[in-house]
Structure 1
Amino acid sequence: MAKNLYMLPEDLPAPQADGACDHLQGLALPERPLPSTSGEPVDLSAINGTAVVFFYPMTGKPDQPPMRGWNKIPGARGCTTQCCAFRDRYPEFQRLGVEIYGVSAQPLEDQKEAVERLHLPFPLLNDSGLVLATELELPTFDYDGARYIKRVTLLVEGGVVRQVYYPIFPPHLNPTDILSQLRS
């Protein structure tokens, strides 16, 4: 059975607001350099300007079989569509002087493959040890013996969280919501 990572099924369960990210607003990001698909570590706390940092579970691979039960986990499906939406709106973020970073616990090699396959103009950061996710007390979920970061997006200014987007649904509209807020 082939899978289309670029289209979301109509019957996906929406994640519910559970307060798991209420503590993030106004938080200074910890000094924590993360490996990056660009080859250079990125320390989000050292960003002087404005950045969007979106945490996501994992990008799927089209050549792999569908993950049994993944679509039933609220908020799990949609990482590829979210990454592509940020890619497609990237010029608008650049015009506003906003950097984009995606973060997941997925292996760095998988992230590099995704950047190349999806033609992402921004780096993906690797938190495979969930060190930053743990320090920020980000919500996670378990699937098939592995732990994944739930989808949450942070608008960061000068290393401080100014806005939290959580829960996010549907994921491909996340960049649109952020751009609307930045322009208002």
Structure 2
Amino acid sequence: MALSRKSNSQVPKTIPYPADDGLASHLVGSSIPTELTLVSTQQIPVKLSELPGITILFCYPRTSAPGETVKERWNNTPGGRGCTAEVGSYRDNFASLKELGVSTIYGLSVQDTAYQKEVKERMGLPYDILSDDKLEFVKAMKMPVLEWEGTSLTKRCTLAIKDGKVVHVWYPVFPPDENPSQVAAWLKATEQSG
């Protein structure tokens, strides 16, 4: 099954590759805190520690607002550009990932729920986005962050969570719009091995 490559935004070929700084190496095997609750774009509280099956949580820095001009500095920030393309790629490949055994897919950023709700509606997303605007998830899991204009943003990192534990991590994620294909390859390999 080939995954789709269309998305709302093209990722420029010239964006810099983010280096693996080792800031996600502690995540595999770690447990999601049971008390941690995040709010989804449906205004529903979500406890990642309690979700059944395999949850794919792709964390990204920020999506642009409608009509926002992307700053050249952002284009040149390793791991910065490509969030909208990644979000769109998960939309385009949602059904394929579900067929491969994923129970739930969530995006996560530090943007607030109202901002994320606009993104969900504008892009026609079949999954919800979780807001970590208070950095509770980032701090609890010691997630890698980047600083942008005085704000801490989540670096692009994808977690496979099963029974409240992180079982696989993709970091750094590059190119952003190909992350669903990377997840699909892991799911197929996991299914074949066992």
1:22 aligns with 2:32: no
Matching residue's letter, 1:40: I
Identity of aligned residues (%): 37
- Determine the structure 2 residue equivalent to 1:91: 95
For 2:53, which of 31, 49, 55 is the aligned residue?
49
SS at match of 2:10: coil
- Determine the structure 2 residue equivalent to 1:8: 11
* Counterparts of 2:151 and 2:71, CA distance in 1: 13
- Determine the structure 1 residue equivalent to 2:71: 67
Deviation at 1:68, TM superposition (A): 4.6
- Determine the structure 2 residue equivalent to 1:130: 135
Deviation at 1:107, TM superposition (A): 1.6
* Counterparts of 1:41 and 1:23, CA distance in 2: 26
- Determine the structure 2 residue equivalent to 1:118: 123
SS at match of 1:69: helix
* Counterparts of 1:176 and 1:96, CA distance in 2: 11
* Counterparts of 1:182 and 1:104, CA distance in 2: 24
Structure 1: runs of 5 or more not aligned: none
1:148 aligns with 2:153: yes
Aligned length: 181
SS at match of 1:110: helix
- Detail structure 1 runs of 4+ shifted over 2 Å in the superposition: 65-68
Matching residue's letter, 1:175: P
- Determine the structure 2 residue equivalent to 1:39: 43
Matching residue's letter, 1:152: C
SS at match of 1:106: coil
